[in-house]
Amino acid sequence: MQSSVMKPSIAPEGLDGLKSLWTTFGELRAAVTGIADLGGPEIAEEANRIVSKIDSFEPTVTLIGQIKAGKTALVNAMIGQTDLLPSDVNPWTSVVTSLHLNSRNRPEGTQALFRFFDEEEWDRLVSTGGRLGELAQRAGFDAEQDAVRDQVLAMREKSRVRLGRKFELLLGTSHTYDMVTRDLIDRYVCYGGWDDGEEGEASKGRYADITKLANLYLDLPGYPTGLCLRDTPGVNDTFMMREQITLNSIRDSRLCVVVLSAHQALSTMDMALLRLVAAVDARELVIFVNRIDELDDPANQIGEIAANFRRTLKKHDVAPDVPILFGSALWAQAALDNSIDELPAPSRLALLNWAAANPCPDETDRESPQERAWRLCGVPDLHGLIATCIVTGPGEAMKREARDALSNLVTSIEASDIRFGLSDVSFPTVDSAVLEARIDEIGADMAATLANANRFAVDTMGERLKKSQAMFCDRAVEALQSHIDAYGTEKAWQYNPAGLRMMLRTAYKTFCSDVEREAEEIYDRAARRIEGIYTEMFGIDPGRVVLRPPAPAHAPPPTGVGKTIALDLNVSWWRKWWQGVRRKEPTAERYATLIVEETDSILDELSTEMGPELCRENEAILATFVDAQRANLLSLANATAGDQGRQGDRTDEKIEALRATRDLVDAMAA
């Protein structure tokens, strides 16, 4: 199998925590498989489900940043491959590219998979001009919308000519390969390299403008199992088509790394990127300030830059406590390639300057130039933060889920031992039909209770969102009218939508807290009622069977709150808007309409998509929990007729495996 992936020249320091996490998962997995045959087929089926859940664990780290920030070069350095993804300015990364490291879930025979936009997405671009065209339309700029649509049509026609009859056939499909090479990546994820005179499947950029997602499965020695790094194109593409794709990437991720450039202050585009991640919990966010190799005096400048960033973040209420790392992807690349001497002279001087301010912690250890560059490039520190965030966040959640499911599995086997092997008491035979009806009653009751609580929470959030929108609209219109009364419509004016975003985020987070609290309470009630069946129908003493309720679903951040709306556009845009509406209708009324039209999609996303989806996930978790307990109880009931010798048939080794598994889950819960 051909591949451009090679063994890193430097160990991926900082990721040891992830290796330890997978060691823990390995212990859980081995414990599950070790007791899978201690019960009936229902026990084996539940054991397989737990193993599949463990194997599918793959936390995603998403990197975002504008062009020239060095984001893709940083991704290359993080995986120890300095030239896998194109990191030069032209061509540039144009699609969301997911790098699956040592994946347990790689499709058989596949190392690269590329998905294309579908016909509906292209039709939306053509009919509206994408997000940019929609903004222009709602703002009353019909000419601008037509111009954007013309550009889309021209781009589509260029793609059609280049791909010929394959164009329509490719939309909505995917290509897979059993190798990963730079040429292959250039063909699918790079703009700017295509020459209209070139022909053939191998031409650079051939499929770039219709490629939506790229998945690369990399086998990297020394790296942890099951980690996904996602490189995004940012949100500054011409038609804003990929803004929502990037937002979805952030939402599906458990850690977002915002890559900024050290050689300039936070730009308008940087603030737009930070606005997109403002809804992300600070524990799931990192800022990496790249290109410190371009600073004249990093030893003194970095402290000033950090302080300025903190002030700006606090001013705009964007994750003021987020970790900020400084580094250089160029130094990392030089360290990996052992080419320090080939660095530009200013970069070498900056490295020496930064090294003088940050000497090697071990004074007795003489660093080589390669080791020094790697230590100071920021990548090891970023690796360490990633490992910490994953271990304490999704890793801990996954460990708890697997541990509790395993504990319940052990509990069901122990209940069988109590019933058949550890007592002389003659327990009554249990009617399976009656038992199943009882479990169904509990499941239906708890499901209805949860559904009612969820509906109330969703309705309440919808009311809060509408109230926030109306309140913001009233304030904005009042402020605009006051401005017009004082200065007329000639003087530029703009009203910052940050206040609205804060209110919408607050309403969503309150909803998530309410949903989580209700789910935890209902899950616990379901577990206690199912425990009662062991006592009431099987005669097992109260307290001998203790079930662990599942944890509620993780609530994704409301990243859609940060998407670009007309209210974010610049001052000259507003002046033109005023001129366009002055003769049509009162400016304040038109402005109120614009606010509602621009923000309704955000409210809809939260109240009709994200909110209900979180509720459905929690309802599915309850159903899975009840189904697992139903299987365990029915297995126990069906064994009453003639399987009482099962305990005696077990070997000492199997009995010890069960005891060891109980000790393992109890130790993890301590």
Q: What share of the chain is helix, strand, coil (3-state, %, to 5)?
A: 60, 10, 30
Evaluate the omega torsion of the peptide bond into residue 556 and state whether it is cis, within 30 degrees of 0: no
pLDDT grade for 252, boundaries at 50, 70 and 90: confident
- Supply the pLDDT for residue 329: 95
CB 523 within 8 A of CB 552: yes
- Would the pLDDT of 575 be above 70? no
DSSP 342: G
CB 176 within 8 A of CB 113: yes
CA nearest neighbour of 264 among 323, 310, 309, 318: 309
CA dihedral 358, 270, 210, 249 (to 10 degrees): 70
The C-alpha atoms of residue 548 and residue 567 are separated, in whole angstroms, by 48
Q: How many CA atoms lie within 13 A of 328 on its CB side?
A: 28
Q: Containing H/E element for 324? A: strand 324-326
- Supply the pLDDT for residue 375: 93
The predicted-structure confidence for 136-191, as pLDDT tens digits, reads as follows 555 555 555 566 566 667 777 777 777 888 888 888 899 999 999 888 888 888 75
Q: Which two tokens stand for residue 81?
A: 């491959």
SS3 call for 611: helix
CB 120 within 8 A of CB 222: no
- Supply the pLDDT for residue 186: 84
The predicted-structure confidence for 180-236, as pLDDT tens digits, reads as follows 988 888 888 875 544 444 455 556 778 877 888 899 999 998 888 889 999 887 655
- Residue scoring higher pLDDT (281 or 344): 344
- Supply the pLDDT for residue 197: 44
| Long-range CB contact pairs, 49-56, < 8 A, 24+ | 49/405, 49/628, 50/402, 50/405, 50/406, 50/409, 53/398, 53/401, 53/402, 53/405, 54/25, 54/28, 54/29, 54/398, 54/402, 55/29, 55/104, 55/105, 56/104, 56/105
Q: Which amino acid is at 492?
A: A
pLDDT grade for 572, boundaries at 50, 70 and 90: low
pTM of the model: 0.85
CA dihedral 504, 507, 513, 518 (to 10 degrees): -130
CA dihedral 317, 318, 321, 323 (to 10 degrees): -160
DSSP 552-568: PPPPPP-GGGGS--GGG
CB atoms near residue 575 (< 10 Å) = 16
Q: Where do we find the tokens 């606010």?
A: 595
- Supply the pLDDT for residue 198: 47
pLDDT grade for 15, boundaries at 50, 70 and 90: confident
Q: Which two tokens stand for residue 361?
A: 């912690």
DSSP 88-124: SSSS-B-SEEEEEET-SSPPTT-SEEEEE--HHHHHH
- Supply the pLDDT for residue 221: 87
Domain with CATH 3.40.50.300 in the chain: 1-108+192-201+217-422
Q: In this prediction, what percent of the chain has a pLDDT beyond 90?
A: 42
- Supply the pLDDT for residue 61: 94
Strand arrangement of the beta sheet that strand 60-64 belongs to:
174-177, 112-116, 211-218, 96-101, 227-231, 60-64, 255-261, 285-290, 324-326
CB 225 within 8 A of CB 31: no
Mean local confidence (pLDDT), 237-264 = 75
CB 116 within 8 A of CB 174: yes
The C-alpha atoms of residue 29 and residue 366 are separated, in whole angstroms, by 43
Least confident of 253-257, 518-522, 583-587: 583-587
Longest dimension (CA), the chain: 94
Q: Which two tokens stand for residue 69?
A: 């920030």
Q: Which two tokens stand for residue 169?
A: 């056939």
Mean local confidence (pLDDT), 634-652 = 60
- Would the pLDDT of 646 be above 70? no
Query: Which residues have a Cβ under 8 Å from the Cβ of 63 and sit 6 or more positions away?
Result: 71, 74, 75, 229, 230, 231, 232, 256, 257, 258, 259
CB atoms near residue 564 (< 10 Å) = 18
- Supply the pLDDT for residue 137: 53
Architecture of the domain made up of 1-108+192-201+217-422: 3-Layer(aba) Sandwich (3.40)
Q: In this prediction, what percent of the chain has a pLDDT beyond 70?
A: 80
Mean local confidence (pLDDT), 338-347 = 94
CA nearest neighbour of 371 among 327, 335, 325, 345: 335
The gap between the terminal CA atoms of the chain, to the nearest Å, is 46
- Supply the pLDDT for residue 423: 47
Q: Where do we find the tokens 């059993």?
A: 178
- Residue scoring higher pLDDT (134 or 300): 300
Range ranked top by mean pLDDT from 147-161, 464-478, 520-534: 520-534
CB 557 within 8 A of CB 251: yes
Q: Is the alpha carbon torsion for 99, 102, 105, 107 positive or negative?
A: positive
- Would the pLDDT of 406 be above 90? yes
Query: Which residues have a Cβ under 8 Å from the Cβ of 532 and sit 6 or more positions away?
Result: none
- Would the pLDDT of 395 be above 90? yes
Q: Which two tokens stand for residue 178?
A: 């059993």
* Averaged pLDDT score across all residues of the chain: 82
- Supply the pLDDT for residue 3: 45
Give the Cα-Cα-Cα angle 438, 440, 441 (nearest 5 degrees).
65
- Supply the pLDDT for residue 427: 59
Q: How many CA atoms lie within 13 A of 336 on its CB side?
A: 27
Residues in the chain: 670
How far CA 349 is from CA of 126, 361, 370, in Å, comes to: 51, 21, 15
The C-alpha atoms of residue 332 and residue 70 are separated, in whole angstroms, by 12
Query: Which residues have a Cβ under 8 Å from the Cβ of 117 and sit 6 or more positions away?
Result: 171, 172, 210, 211, 212
